[in-house]
Copies of this chain bind each other. A is one copy, B any other.
């Protein structure tokens, strides 16, 4: 299968780097090819077009990203701990790969409607993980039940996302991972039931 060939991975990784360094619109296919160590034409043996590269980058990288978070939260029993794990892994994975962080937080926000739709498809899995935590929390009465889930999910995702964006925009000058407990505390406070 095409995706298992070494050049496929080389192109994906090259694309992440080039996009992180130049931004999506300044990322010429030839630049990606050079960084990946292949000829320009070779790109088109693996990808339909430039847009397809971007979508594939997101699917590959975010797929793994989400996968890890999904698995880790499943392993946890406690709802609060699930959320903490989610936040921590989210921060950790981006802190470790700042190229990916730039691409995720900044570059992927742009682009055509149909790219965005595909990206949202992938993101859907992530949001599902959040929803499941919330549902479990409501069931266990750790999370308030008077607000609908999408709203709470938006707070969780919005807060995490905004925090990472801030970190990226400030050129990763502070320690993102160490913020996890406070973010968790803040969110749990908002979510908790008001006895």
Contact = CB atoms under 8 A, between A and B. Distances in A.
B109 A110 contact: yes
A186 interface: yes
Interface in A150-195: 150-152, 154-155, 157-163, 166, 169, 179, 182-183, 185-187, 189-192, 194
Q: How many copies of this chain does one complex carry?
A: 4
Nearest to A150: B166
A81 to B, nearest CB: 19
A40 to B, nearest CB: 13
Interface in A26-72: 26
Contact of A24 (B110, B144, B186, B191): B110
A21 B147 CA distance: 34
Contact of A154 (B26, B110, B111, B159): B159
Contacts of A152: 186
A188 to B, nearest CB: 8
A147 B182 CA distance: 7
A140 interface: no
B169 A163 contact: no
* Majority-rule SS of A interface residues: helix
A118 interface: no
Contacts of A148: 182
Contact of A113 (B23, B120, B158, B187): B23
Contacts of A5: none
Contacts of A107: 110
A10 interface: no
Interface of A: 23-26, 106-107, 109-113, 116, 120, 144, 147-148, 150-152, 154-155, 157-163, 166, 169, 179, 182-183, 185-187, 189-192, 194
